[in-house]
Every structure is written in C-alpha cells, then in structure tokens.
Chain A
C-alpha cells in the first residue's frame, strides 16, 4: 500500500489523522494466515502434480524433487501442519466463544457467522457494480471475507477428512463402506481443485489485486491499516468504534519499513507461486 509505505517513513502515531494506524489482526491471527498460506501452497504444489500426473510438468517436477515418494511425503507434512493450525483455530474459537463467553464470536457485527446484512450487502454490492445503487457500507468482515473463511473451514473438513481417509485407508475401512474409499479420492481432488482455483484467482483478486488494495493488502502481514483505509473499506466498524469511544483502543503502531518490505517479498512470492500453479492447473485441466 502506498499509504502505508509513505506513513511508515514518518514517525509513528502523532495524533494527526493521516498518520494513525489501527490494529485489524492480532499477531496470532497473522501467524495463522502465514501458516495457512505456506502450507496451502505446499499442498497445492504437491497435490497438483499428483492430480495431473500425466502432464509433462508434473513428471518433470516430480523427477526434480525425487519422485512421488518425495511429493507424497511433503504433501503429508504440509497436511499435518495445516491440520494442527486448524485445530488450534477451532480450539481458540471454542475457548473464546464458549468458555470465556466472549461477545461477538458467534453473532453480531464482528462475528464470522453470516447474517441477513451479508445477504443484503451481496445484492447491494452487485447493484453498485452495475451502477444501480450506492456502495454498501461494510463492517468488520464483509460477506466475501466470510465466504473465504467458511470456504476454508469447509475445505479443511472435506479435504482433510478425505485425505486422511486415503492416508489411513485400512483404518477408515473399519467404519466406511468400500465404495467410500473410491469416493474420497474424487472428493479430495475435486475439492482441492476448487480450493486452488478459488484461492489463486478469486481470493487473490478480491483481497489483494483489486484496485482498492492493489497490488497487495498488507494488513494481514503487518496487522495494521491506515485510518484512511479503515474508514474507506470498513466504514461501519469505524463508525461503531467511534460511537462507542473505543477507536483509540484499536490504535496500532505504524509498521516498520523492514516488516513492510519483508511482507511484500513473502506476499508477492506467494502470489507468484499461486498464479504459476493456477496457469499449470488450467492448462492441464483444459487438456484433460
């Protein structure tokens, strides 16, 4: 973000409106995203050659890393990392929502759970695309962000379960019928393909490459966004915090230059890998 870079060079928070940064993601949430996208890239990079094993690039890639043994090993390794991250997240949600009875986890404007407003926002947004109405005002999580979240959540369960069913097939066969072992491969590969195609095209554009965030939304790496961006992207949350007098409590520090640069390198690498895989997937899919 040009704004963030420009601001980063200035001394942090001086009370002036332009220089203020607000915390959007906690350190743990950012770490979770980092683990999520790195293990996902690993899974995609090793899963695609298996899915399109007849294609030239898959066989070259496999030969380069040491054959299917290496690919499968790395795929399983990334799967375990992602599973652990997912379990930590689920534990976190239950701890905060059920144990500590934290408000806004399961319901309300700060929750990931979809509500009526999201449906209205979706239609309102589409109308705005076509110039038929005003741009809807979004709260902490917009509908497409919630969709991303639940897509991953659903994907984790579906892909994860089918993956482990293949990994430990004889064990799963104790309580699954035989045909389910055939089904899990179809489910795993189709759902994996959906995740890959969705993340590497839709998520990349919606979150990072769309004009308002181009070329990358740094908030998931630095945790903070400028006041201007906050107001522009999530006017409802800003107004709600302001009305409650809680805006100050969300103030964060301007991100250090190294962090911004480092995040850019990491982020662009991830996007580049993702787009490469997307091109390979589409080429193999079309030829199939």
Chain B
C-alpha cells in the first residue's frame, strides 16, 4: 500500500486516503483479502488523527471496498468483476464530467468537445 498525504490539496485528508486506497484496489495493486494496517497504525505512520483514518476506513467500508472484522482488522473485500468494472467506469465518468464543467465555463459546445475527445482518443492509439 502506498499513501501520500498532501497538505496543499483541496481534499480533506480522509478523502485523500479513500481515493488512494480505492484506486489501488481498482487497479489490482491491493488484492482481495489483503489485510490493511489498523486504524491506529495508519494514523501513527502518517502522523495524522486517528479519527481521520477511522473515517476513511468507514467510507471505504460503506462503498464495499473493504471489510472490517472485529478483533481481526480490515481487509480488501472480495470484489466481483462486474462491480470492479463499474467502479472503473465511474472513475472515467468523474474525469469526463470535470472536463465537461470546464468546457461549459469556457463556452465550448458539445460538438467541439466530442471532436476533441475523438482526436485525443485516436492520438493515444
């Protein structure tokens, strides 16, 4: 596991943790059933509040990414492929909607936007 906390980020610290663990689960760096550090251990290592890490884990649990077993700690939840694909789609969707917001403020129409997307997509191929 790899977690980098940024002090200059707009995101609250708990959200930074959630995002990073999530993306590591989605791209397979964190495997099913892999155990996560305890809430206190993680807080101690990162030098942040226990309440912050607790909230991050609760959030991950709520979204089905991890399971917490009393007395045993937290683990990466078993994920079915459908679920993972959906989550990955969601990531792309979020990024696209950021682009759409940006386009709107700059008065770029949907047609131009599509064109841009097509060009970018082909370039990468």
A, B from the same assembly: no
Interface residues of A (CB under 8 A from B): none
Interface residues of B (CB under 8 A from A): none
